[in-house]
Structure formats: C-alpha cells, structure tokens
Amino acid sequence: LAKTTQPISMDSYEGQEVNITCSHNNIATNDYITWYQQFPSQGPRFIIQGYKTKVTNEVASLFIPADRKSSTLSLPRVSLSDTAVYYCLVGDKGNQGGKLIFGQGTELSVKP
Amino acid sequence: DVKVTQSSRYLVKRTGEKVFLECVQDMDHENMFWYRQDPGLGLRLIYFSYDVKMKEKGDIPEGYSVSREKKERFSLILESASTNQTSMYLCASSPGTLASTDTQYFGPGTRLTVL
C-alpha cells in the first residue's frame, strides 16, 4: 500500500485559496486518491476522490498530474470553519475490503 | 445519510478490565473498520471486516480482538485493558469491494481512558 507524505501544518487567512500537496511516490495502478477532513472531536469526513487529472465538487478541487506521484487538494476562499486536519490517502477500491491508510494529516489553521 | 454510531463518547476503565466498544451502521455496508487515533500518529487501523464473521488484522491488532456477528454491528474488544490503550477509537464503514466508491463513513469516536 502506498505511503503518503504531506505537510504537518499550514496557516492561511480567510478568503485565501489553500493548496495542500500530498506525495505518494509508490502509488499503484489500481489506487485511487482520497482526501478526508477532520474537525476536533469528530470522525473524519470524505471530501473528494480522484484517479487522474482534475476533479471538482462543491467543497474542493483535486489536481493529479499525469505521473500520479503527487496530488493537490485546493480549497477556494477558505473560512474559519475550514480549520481542520486534512488527510490524503491512497488505496485500492477492489482489494482488501477497501482498506485505506491514514497518515498524520495536515493541520490547517485559518485566521481572520 | 449514512449514520455510524458508537456506544459511548467517553469511557473510563481500569487496567485489566475487559472493554467492549460497539459500532453500528445503518446503510447495509459490507466493510467495517476500527481505528485508533493518537496525537502525532494520525489514524491507525486496528482491524477491519469485509463480511459477517470475517475479519482481517490491520496495522496494530495486538491487544485487541473484534466480533462481527451481524452485518450492521462491529465490536472492538480489549481483553485486558492497559494504560497504553488510552486513545480515541473511531469506527467506520464503507459500501464494499464492488461498490463504485470506497468512501469510509466515520462515527463520532469513543475517547477511552484506562487508569
């Protein structure tokens, strides 16, 4: 299973765009890239998932280059409520019951 | 909306006690997971189950066992609790290997303190 590396923490201000990059050099052909968000005292919540190129939903965008060895989660115009820990995961949807590995995550702090 | 519930938000036990953490999901998901979360270590997978009565070890199964007698319920058991098992325990479920997505849905967590 591919290991991921992401920054431990990031700071931002309200209204800015935030980009969090995740490295996954050993990603396998069948692996998908998934991002979760976790607020204090809550379980993680799914944000976005992709395989290649770009995926966008109402919450975020996910950019995946052609070699898929990294990915970037983009949060447009963050607000104070976006302060959370963001986890990047890679995993194979077909095998091992969808087993995913969570790294340490990136603690995003949004300031007024 | 998928709902994953855990039996307790906070639990205090003594060393050597047998501890049961219960998790229930209401979306007929095939897969269920137990994680523990500790500062600086992120989430670590203890056990997972992809069917009733089936279980697989995760990354840190030592000191834990699990039970899945019904599809909707997945229990984590600490046979003899120790202080190093003080942690936040998170349960999750996902649709299954044939589903179009393996999105995991998490419960609110149980903060266990072992004295």
- The two three-digit tokens of residue B75, written as one number: 């229990």
Subunit contact B40:A46, Cβ cutoff 8 A: no
Task: Summarize pLDDT for A24-59 with one digit per residue, the tens.
Answer: 998 888 888 999 999 988 899 999 999 998 999 999
Q: Please give the average per-residue pLDDT across A62-66, as a whole number.
A: 96
Task: Express each pLDDT in B20-30 by its tens digit.
Answer: 999 999 999 98
Measured between beta carbons, the chain B residues lying within 8 angstroms of A100 are: 102, 104
Residue A21 and residue A71: Cα distance in Å, rounded?
6
Nearest-angstrom CA–CA distance, B36 and B62? 12
DSSP state of A5: B
User: B4 with B23: CB under 8 angstroms?
Assistant: yes
The 10s digit of each residue's pLDDT in B44-80 is: 989 999 889 889 898 899 999 999 999 999 999 999 9
Alpha-carbon gap: A39 to the closest alpha carbon of chain B (Å): 10
Contact B104 A100 (CB under 8 A): yes
The one-letter amino acid code at B2 reads V
- Distance from the B31 Cα atom to the nearest Cα atom in chain A, whole angstroms: 6
* Cβ neighbours of B66 (radius 10 Å): 22
C-beta neighbour count of A6 within 10 angstroms: 21
Provide the 10 A C-beta neighbour count for residue A19.
13
Mean pLDDT (whole number) for B91-113: 82
β-bridge pairing B19-25 and B31-38: unpaired
With CB atoms and an 8 Å threshold, state whether B102 touches A100: yes
Dig out the tokens for B6 from the structure. Answer: 């855990």
Q: Specify which residues B36 forms β-bridges with.
A: B44, B89
Task: Report the range of poorest mean pLDDT among A54-68, B41-55, B80-94.
Answer: B41-55
Contact criterion met (CB < 8 Å) for B94 and A45: no
